[in-house]
A = this chain, B = another copy of it.
Amino acid sequence: MVQKTQIRAPRGTTLSCKGWQQEAAMRMLMNNLDPDVAERPEDLVVYGGSGRAARSWEAYEAIIRSLKQLENDETLLVQSGKPVGILRTHANAPRVLIANSNLVPHWANWDEFRRLEALGLTMYGQMTAGSWIYIGSQGIVQGTFETFAEAARQHFGSTLKGKFVLTAGLGGMGGAQPLAVTMNEGVCLAIEVDESHIQRRVATGYCDTIAYTLDEALALVREACSAGRPLSIGLLGNAAEIHPELVRRNIIPDMVTDQTSAHDALNGYIPAWLTLEEAAQLRQRDPQEYIRRARESMVTHVRAMLDMQKSGAIVFDYGNNLRGQALEAGETHAMDFPGFVPAYIRSLFCRGKGPFRWVALSGDPEDIYRTDETLLELFPEDEHLKRWLTLARQKIQFQGLPARICWLGYGERDRAGLAFNELVAKGIVKAPIVIGRDHLDSGSVASPYRETEGMKDGSDAIADWPLLNALVNTASGATWVSLHHGGGVGIGYSMHAGQVTVADGTPEAAERLARVLSNDPGMGVIRHVDAGYEEALTHAQQYNMKIPMR
């Protein structure tokens, strides 16, 4: 079965389902596959190379059908993108429970995953693809903005003005990089092997311009840097070719990172010296050879980054497991540059801060602007938040249902959620709002090469935390809860959980929101208290959190 018509979530207040919770799940699943949102909707791929919203079109249709029939005291079970059962639970239980891509650890490798995928038994859920809360590039712009802002604060006096930032990959998430750099006033050169991806970023205003030769691109970089003018350039090319060439020419950027889909060597990374077409053919003909060549190119790519680091560039891994792949392919120094989490994000996590996001089910951008205003009123003292919301409104085009993201912590998310629920109750916004987050969050993920890299107590690989997070969100009454394996760093390397809760303006929703939006980031504070972070303990004490062994 092949989907013939394009998918677009219904807007407005007419329900297709028996309640707003089911309706929200249905619209968000559809929105994940909206051609304005998804990278390859025809293959059900939302982002990240192979991150799917449903296992097959049959499964997609069956999920939609199930959601339409689902009672307000029932729960739909989704196993790797396929609806497998509907059970009677109760009104305060989630309407949907999702487990995607999970494998028994000894079998948790790409070969076994692909074998099972080919048998039709699983799918790759990424982080927000299979959990129906991807909101297009904006989602990641904020995280990237936060990361570059923190890096700028640590290394360059809080601005990237006049600084040359080199990266690669302008896909679903990586496409946010040029905008996040210019929002921090810097100059971004992003290497991307697929011209249509660059064009897409230019069309949506995330990237300023496209270049076809390195010389042309470097001229633009130089000019903008010396003028102190923000600029982003997408250069058509392969990072494993361009980066070494820069080293050869002794051109050392101020900052280097990467967002090719290196975590998935077969589908996410184009080996050097192949055209897209040749790569597609090789992938088809000899997948093992493809993987070998992709990994070989990653080694070249990483070596160039290491050389730049030695020459004084600030280099960090942006959570795509590029280092891990290069390490496996034999580059023993691959881990010599840090991941972005220990470098720039951990101290936010200690306060339960992470990617809080929400979507207006009305489809009306004005609803999002109302929520923006509400946040500015709620947190008038937060200059950083103000800056972000102002820039976001100017620079970010909505994709699919209008959405917003900002990083909020424990003690803030519940206040925001309740305020949004009030907006719905009072009719200030036109329809309910769904509130969720990325799986990349303070207490929801175990990922030793990314979110939990270099934990203070050495607990990087302990995976109890995301499981507890999913159980807690289920116990708190989130509308849907998901548990994934793999995600941004690939099969074997992470486990993580998500939650989405609907603000439909009812008092019952207010109770659920108060619980979920405290307990969910609360798990992040608890996890970091347990690992021995003083900052987390201070935050926990300030809020009188109950932590038995402290």
| Residue ranges of A at the interface with B (Cβ–Cβ < 8 Å) | 58-59, 62-63, 65-66, 74-77, 79-80, 82-90, 92-94, 97, 99-108, 112, 116, 119, 121-122, 446-448, 457-465, 467-468, 470-472, 474-477, 481, 483, 485, 491-495, 511, 515, 518-519, 522-523, 526-527, 530, 545-549
**Looking across the interface, which residue of chain B has its beta carbon closest to that of A70?**
B546
Q: Within the assembled complex, what's the spacing in Å between the Cα atoms of A4 and B116?
A: 51
Q: Which B residues are in CB contact (< 8 Å) with A476?
A: 87, 89-90, 93
In the bound complex, do residue B119 and residue A448 qualify as a contact, i.e. CB atoms below 8 Å apart?
no
| Nearest B residue to A447, CB-CB | B104
Closest 10 CB pairs of A and B: A105-B108, A107-B461, A99-B464, A105-B105, A86-B546, A93-B475, A102-B463, A106-B492, A83-B548, A85-B526
- Residue numbers in B under 8 Å from A86 (CB-CB): 546-548
In the complex, A527 Cα to B75 Cα: how many Å? 16
Checking B65, B66, B121 against A462 with a beta-carbon cut-off of 8 angstroms, the contacting residue is B121
The answer on a CB contact under 8 Å between A104 and B494 is: yes
Q: Does B461 contact A112, Cβ atoms closer than 8 Å?
A: yes
Contact among B495, B527, B548 for A104, CB-based, below 8 A:
B495
Contact check, B87 vs A519: say whether CB atoms are below 8 A apart: yes
Known interface pairs A526-B77, A546-B85, A548-B65. Does A462 touch B93 (Cβ–Cβ under 8 Å)? no
Complex: A367 Cα to B82 Cα, angstroms = 44
- In the bound complex, how far is the Cα of B78 from the Cα of A526, in angstroms? 12
Q: Residue of B at shortest CB range from A461?
A: B107
Number of copies of this protein chain within its complex: 2
- Given A471-B483, A515-B89, A462 and B80 touching (CB < 8 A)? yes
Question: A67 CB to closest chain B CB, in angstroms?
Answer: 10
**Chain B residues near A461 (CB, 8 Å)?**
103-104, 106-108, 112, 116
In the complex the two chains form, is A472's CB within 8 Å of B104's CB?
no
Q: Identify which of B112, B119, B462, B467 contacts A483 (C-beta below 8 A).
A: B467
**Main secondary structure on A side of the interface with B:** mixed
Asked if B546 contacts A463 (CB within 8 A), the reply is no
| 13 sample A-B contacts, Cβ–Cβ < 8 Å, listed by A number | A58-B549, A77-B526, A80-B462, A84-B526, A85-B545, A88-B519, A104-B447, A104-B460, A104-B462, A106-B108, A116-B459, A121-B457, A471-B481
A549 to chain B, nearest CB (A): 5
| A90, B447: Cβ atoms closer than 8 Å | no
Report whether A475 and B530 are in contact in the complex, using a CB–CB cutoff of 8 Å.
no
Q: With A92-B92, A470-B467 in contact, do A522 and B103 touch (Cβ < 8 Å)?
A: no
Separation of A477 and B97 alpha carbons in the complex (Å): 15
- Closest chain-B Cβ to A127's Cβ sits at a distance in Å of 15
Is A104 touching B463 in the complex (CB atoms < 8 A)? yes
Of the candidates B85, B99, B103, B460, which one forms a contact with A105 in the assembled complex, judged by CB atoms under 8 Å apart? B103
Whether A515 contacts B107 by the Cβ 8 Å rule is no
Residue of B nearest to A88 (CB): B515
A66 proximity list for chain B (CB < 8 A): 548
Q: How far is the CA of A88 from the CA of B107 in the complex (A)?
A: 37
Report the nearest B residue to A514, measured CB to CB. Answer: B88
Q: A97-B468, A461-B107, A518-B88 are in contact. Are A548 and B492 (CB under 8 A)?
A: no
Residues of B within 8 A of A89 (CB): 472, 475-476, 515, 519
Q: How far is the CA of A355 from the CA of B239 in the complex (A)?
A: 56
Q: A458: which B residues are within 8 A, CB to CB?
A: 116, 119, 121
Minimum CB–CB distance from A18 to chain B (whole Å) comes to 14
* B471 touching A470, Cβ below 8 Å: yes
Most buried by B among A58, A86, A468, A549: A549
Contact of B474 with A474 in the complex, beta carbons under 8 Å: yes
Within 8 Å by CB of A85, from B87, B97, B523, lies B523
Are the CB atoms of A468 and B87 closer together than 8 Å?
no
Q: List, in ascending order, chain B residues with CB within 8 A of A549's CB.
A: 58-59, 62, 82-84
Q: Which residues of B contact A475 (CB under 8 A)?
A: 75, 89-90, 93-94, 97, 474
Q: Determine how close the nearest CB of chain B comes to the CB of A42; give it in whole angstroms.
A: 21
Other than the known A59-B549, A86-B546, what 13 A-B pairs have Cβ atoms closer than 8 Å?
A79-B530, A82-B530, A84-B548, A84-B549, A85-B523, A85-B526, A87-B546, A92-B92, A99-B471, A103-B105, A105-B495, A106-B448, A108-B108
List the B side residues contacting A459 at CB < 8 Å. Answer: 116, 119, 121
Chain B residue numbers with a CB within 8 Å of A485 are: 105, 463
